[in-house]
Chains A and B, each alone.
Chain A
Amino acid sequence: MEMSEQDPSKTEPDSYEAAVERLEEIIDRLDSGQSGLRETLDLCKEGRELVSYCAAELDEVGAGLKELRLDDLAAKLEASPEVS
């Protein structure tokens, strides 16, 4: 099985897109009912980690809009070398 050959210890996806894609694969595989016990448990573990990753990503943009001004950021950037 191609999926069971994937390394379940790989828990940090490259991006939200990659995490969601892998999560969908996992759910499909579990829904198919064709995975064995060991594979099912590994997939569930990997799936839970992906869900945690996605939830953390969503949490990062869930705190409410943070508005910054480019002028202010540029001013800070210019000021910082002098401070250091």
Chain B
Amino acid sequence: MGQTVEKSELSPRSAGPQFPGPFAVGRYARKLQGWMRERPRVQLIGEVTGVGRSKVQAYFELRDSEGAIPCAIWLNDLEKAGLNESSLRDGAEVVISGGLDYYPGGGQASPNFCFRATHVRLAGEGDLIARLEALRKQLRAEGLFELQKQLARPLLPKTIGVVTAESGAARRDLCAGLERRGWGGSLIWAFAPVQDRHAAPAIGLALQDLAARPEVEAIVVTRGGGSLADLWAFCDETLCRTVAMLRVPVISAVGHERDSTLIDDVAAVACSTPTHAVEAAVPLDCLAARESLQRCTLALRRAGEGAVGNRSRHLSALARGPARALQRQRTDLNRKIREVRAAAERGLSDRATSQRRIGTVVLERARLRAAGADMDKRREALHRAAVTLRAHEPERTLERGYALVEDPDGEPLTSAAEAGAAERISLRFSDGNVRARPEQDRT
């Protein structure tokens, strides 16, 4: 590479290391230019800074938190890319296509190295997501997602650090949320830019400063929503590594629910809103806790008083026990005495009744016995009377062939004169009556 200078022209004492050469620099520069231009064409993504223009080209630096490359694009290429002048501005996240280039300069002109872009476009969501995923994969593989999650988060921190933009809704929301929860401890604000390439280093520094303060028990990092490009600072690899290594739990509340940044992965807790971040930073609802403590106080007082009161009542009851037992025994005794007395009285009365009952039975039996003999005699006499009576019945006489004369009224006619005087008579036989008329003239 290049023509060597005669060795004899060099002083032996200044020969230096035995590298090849020396070569003429101009030729070396041109060779270098050729070598660089042969490097593979690539796409780079980063933030545009320090934009400047000459008559024929625009130049800028493409930068992220780890480094930068000087870039240049011919104005006609810029025009072909469809980007107007305002699009290629400081802070824009772009993807450039091209390769390394080197301008060797000349006798008067200065040499210049740059990445010669032949095309440029604004970085899209897809580009950022692809970068994010690659970083996410790498940090997860290193176990950096777990470190913060293993930290103990206090239920009731007294001091909380907050990293956010000085002017922003997130700050207001956070204060309102903390007050709603009844938390009135100390908040240490560490204000930092939350969007652009300065944001990530500033946020990282603020986090480290807060974590270095012994009174800080939790740190909230928050900002409002935006595009992934807006939130890109929170996907910064260096920042995320810093967060992972902090001794204080970090609660991230960056963007809205749908936004997912790398800091969410490494933080102890990822929240979608400042309100959620408040609940994560102060897990204890202080208002509810105060009410709960009042209930505990009441329960303890009840238990304490009850323990003594119940036992004292029980003791009193026990103390009254012997007297009550004696009274009970006395009552029992009195009752038994009354029962015995009643039983004795009932016993005498029963005995008299029983005697009376026995006498009655004996008399009744005697009476029945006496009545029985008399009846037999009476029954016999009655029989005799019946036989006698039966012997005197007219029917018995009529059966023997006599007839009884009666007037028409059934009155017996006991003389011939009565019968002769009657106009009509009736002759009563044993088997029936015969009417007749007396013949007056025959008599």
Contacts and interface: CB of A to CB of B under 8 A. Distances in A.
A1 interface: no
B383 interface: no
Interface stretch (B8-16, B282-290, B354-362): B282-290
A15 B153 CA distance: 11
A28 to B, nearest CB: 10
Interface stretch (B105-113, B248-256, B293-301, B318-326): B293-301
A15 B154 contact: yes
Nearest to A18: B155
Contact of B155 (A16, A68, A74): A16
A40 B308 CA distance: 9
B186 interface: yes
Interface stretch (B63-71, B176-184, B385-393, B400-408): B176-184
A26 B307 CA distance: 14
B209 A74 contact: yes
Of the candidates B299, B303, B311, the one having the most CB atoms from chain A within 10 angstroms of its own CB is: B303
B213 interface: yes
Q: Interface of chain B, helix or strand or loop or mixed?
A: helix
Given A40-B304, A60-B185, A70 B209 contact: yes
Contacts of B289: 54, 58
Contact of B190 (A20, A57, A60, A70): A70
Nearest to A36: B307
Contacts of A10: none
B175 A48 contact: no
Contacts of A73: 188, 213
Given A27-B299, A51-B293, A51-B297, A65 B178 contact: yes
Interface string B81-111: 0000000000000000000000000000000
Contacts of A62: 182, 184, 286, 290
20 contacts: A15-B154, A16-B156, A20-B155, A30-B303, A31-B299, A41-B307, A43-B303, A44-B300, A44-B301, A51-B293, A55-B290, A58-B290, A60-B185, A62-B290, A64-B184, A65-B175, A65-B184, A66-B185, A67-B186, A74-B209
Given A37-B311, A47-B296, 11 more contacts: A17-B155, A40-B303, A40-B304, A40-B307, A41-B304, A51-B297, A58-B293, A60-B185, A61-B183, A70-B191, A71-B190
Interface of B: 154-156, 158, 161, 175, 178-179, 182-191, 206, 209-210, 213, 284, 286, 289-290, 293, 296-297, 299-301, 303-304, 307-308, 311
